[in-house]
Amino acid sequence: MKKILLMVSIVALLAAGCGKTATNAPASPNNNEQTKAPLQAAQNPDPSAGKYKTIEVLPPTVAYTSTADGFTVNYPSSPKVTKTTVPTPNAGAIPVTEYRKTFSSGSEYAFYTVSVYHYPPTYKLTGDDLSSGLQTFNKILIALYPGTKVANQQSAEFLGNPALTGTLVVPVKLTPGNAATTDTSDYFTATINGQNIYVISAYGMDQNNYNAFLKSFKFTK
């Protein structure tokens, strides 16, 4: 299923696009705190995206806290938490924690995801790490899915930290053997906080859901 492959690729967004081995980890507890972080990305709809209205995705309304990774964000319900290790071009192999809530219908999938890339204490993170990782990701994704377009990508500031925001539009076949495709958007914001890179993304859903997801995100340390 190509959408599953897409999200496997996005786990390597900032780590040179190499493979991974995933294991389950326990989810952090929920709390009731509502966050009001300023929205920094995807405020204007992309007319080329969003032809995927056959899957129902609930809005993010339930506050979730990760004590280990120092953030709160709203999901529709508690996400699945997985821990992985990925190689990077400049910092060696690093651990990644992924918090994902999945929806599916037939061969369609949609995800709310926060991925946290843990860099060593001695490594100095800069905006160049964001840029190089996104360039590598875009090349890999376009090679896997011909016709994938970078609808927009720009430097930004998110919660006082350097960030990159953007939208990818991926043509996905919903029926095997059928040439017809549907354009599916992946909205993302990647930012640096401390020794971590955080990627906040929403795939296969309405842009308003992503905006609400991103707006609810807040660092707690």
**104 in helix, strand or coil?**
strand
**How far is it, in rounded angstroms, from Cα 157 to Cα 6?**
26
Range of the domain at 78: 2-219
Token readout for 44 is 């204007």
- Under 8 Å between Cβ of 112 and 60: yes
Token readout for 91 is 């910092």
- Under 8 Å between Cβ of 199 and 14: yes
- Under 8 Å between Cβ of 91 and 197: no
Least Cα distance to 77 among 47, 44, 45, 101 occurs for: 101
Hunting for tokens 């900032």 — which residue is that? Answer: 14
Q: Mean pLDDT in the chain?
A: 75
Domain count, the chain: 1
pTM, rounded to two decimals: 0.73
What tens-digit pLDDT sequence spans the chain (221 residues)?
Answer: 444 444 434 444 444 333 333 333 333 334 433 333 333 333 333 333 444 445 789 999 999 999 999 999 999 999 999 998 888 878 888 899 999 999 987 767 888 999 999 999 999 988 788 876 666 566 666 776 777 887 888 999 999 999 999 998 877 765 656 566 677 888 999 999 999 999 999 988 889 999 999 999 999 98
How confident is the model over 65-113, as pLDDT tens digits? 999 999 999 999 999 999 988 888 788 888 999 999 999 877 678 889 9
